[in-house]
Amino acid sequence: MYWLTGSQTFQMMQPFSESLAGRVAIFAMAGLSNAEAEGRPASLFKADIDSLKTRFSESTAKDVHELYTRIFSGSMPRLIADGVDRNQTI
């Protein structure tokens, strides 16, 4: 996936000889966590028993079918927000 932008303010660029054309930035973006996908506040993961109990009590229980559907669907924001069907062919 590529995200290309091309806006430039030409009046601000007049004093510069280097326009930085052709520069690229790559951002590695993680998918949404289960909390984010379910609309719950996300928090840092802590492995102590009290934090795990709290996290478990706040999460939504899923059966095997729901779990596999979530894994198959992916965790990218647009897939979750727009309900994109991965089975759909273009």
Query: pTM for the full model?
Result: 0.50
| b/e map 58-88, b = 16+ CB within 10 Å | eeeeeeeeeeeeeeeeeeeeebbeeeeeeee
Q: What is the pLDDT of residues 63-73, one digit of tens each?
A: 999 888 878 87
> What distance lies between CA 14 and its chain's CA centroid?
37
81, 32 Cβ separation under 8 angstroms: no
Structure tokens at 14: 């007049």
Q: What is the pLDDT of residues 8-62, one digit of tens each?
A: 556 666 666 665 665 666 666 778 888 888 888 888 889 999 999 988 888 888 8
User: What are the start-end ranges of the H helices in the chain?
Assistant: 10-13, 34-37, 49-58, 64-73, 77-81
Q: What is the pLDDT of residue 48?
A: 93
